[in-house]
Amino acid sequence: MSFLIGMDIGGTNIVCGLVDEGGKLISKIKQPTEAHMGSGYVFDKISRMIQELLQTAQVESKDVAAIGVGTPGFIDPVRGITVFASNLQWTQVPTAEEIGKRTDIPTFIDNDVRMYVYGEAVAGAAKGYEHVLGITIGTGLAAAVVNNGELYYGGRYMAGELGHIPMPEIPYTCGCGLQGCLETLVSATGIARQAREQLEAGRASIMNDWLNGDPVDRITSADVSKAYDEGDPLAVEIMNHTGKLLGKGLAYAVSLYSPDIIVIGGGAALAGERLFAPMREQLQRSVYKGYWERLTIAPAQMIDDAGIVGSALAAGRRLKELRGEAV
């Protein structure tokens, strides 16, 4: 029996999972990243996590075909390098090589959103669909495309920056330097930001009661969902506005990529229909009906595990490709 290891190195936590060749997650462990300790420290920790994972599952290292790693930021999957990951403070880190030499297992890396979407495409909500567009709405907004099991990369592996499409309706400046990027509004951060701004401007809302005099910074996107469920007009307005702008952005992606299904994941996607209903309404109005009529829209299925399973299966596939085997 051959196994794969999938890993998600985030700004806060590292999650590491053992996966069978069919994509079934057998067990996983989680530890804080402690990126401030430097990349060497993080790689040593990863090496110990893998040992622990194998020991617990009573699997020998030689039975693991490959390790797949998802990290945030700009990745060069071919050279195995994390080119730039702001929340890890990594620049030009040879992630694949560092993990490979500590474990003696072939290691592949890729962008975490691509791995998440790959997981959902081959083993999650989009399994069985040929043309998959996946997005994650978390701290930011990002997208990836999988056609017939193959990831779409574009030049410098930089395709899919749905979050950095400028929208005339958005007044915020983005960290990337552009004005009005979609992710400054359509994200957990963006939803919270809208609520905070309105509360600070003196807008009536049940969220004021919850704050009980605390600074508005305490308000999160989950609070907006909660207020929405209580019928709070401000929360309803924010969700409608955010969903509508997401629908506009997705219209561009649908007209350019022509997906069969859109899978939506990430923390803020937990808002579910509060966000999806206005998104769908706008999207239908903004794309040619030939796209809309055959489009499925589904929430992510594997949620927290999509990145791990995706990384593991993508690594298995890349190993086979390298060996010239059919994929």
The residues binding a copy of itself (CB under 8 A) are: 74, 130-131, 143, 147, 152-162, 164-166, 168, 176-178, 251-253, 255-260, 286-291, 294
Residue nearer to a copy of itself on the CB measure, 37 or 176 = 176
Q: Where are the alpha helices (DSSP H) in 233-286?
A: 233-257, 273-286
Q: 244-279 burial, b if ≥16 CB within 10 A, otherwise e?
A: bbbbbbbbebbeebbbbbbbbbbbbbbbeebbbebb
Of 154 and 233, CB closest to a copy of itself: 154
* Euclidean distance between CA atoms 26 and 3, whole angstroms: 10
Minimum CB separation from a copy of itself for residue 196, in Å?
26
Paired tokens of 278: 């206005």
Torsion on CA atoms 10, 11, 13, 16, rounded to nearest 10 = 20
CB of 160 to a copy of itself, least distance (A): 6
Nearest to a copy of itself of 119, 249 (CB atom): 249
| Cβ-based nearer residue to a copy of itself, 53 or 141 | 141
CB 195 within 8 A of CB 224: yes
Q: How far is the CB of 235 from a copy of itself (least distance, A)?
A: 26
Looking up tokens 């059919």 gives 326
Helix (H) or strand (E) holding 109: strand 107-111
CB of 252 to a copy of itself, least distance (A): 4
Whole-number minimum distance, CB 180 to a copy of itself, in Å?
9
**Cβ-based nearer residue to a copy of itself, 165 or 239:** 165
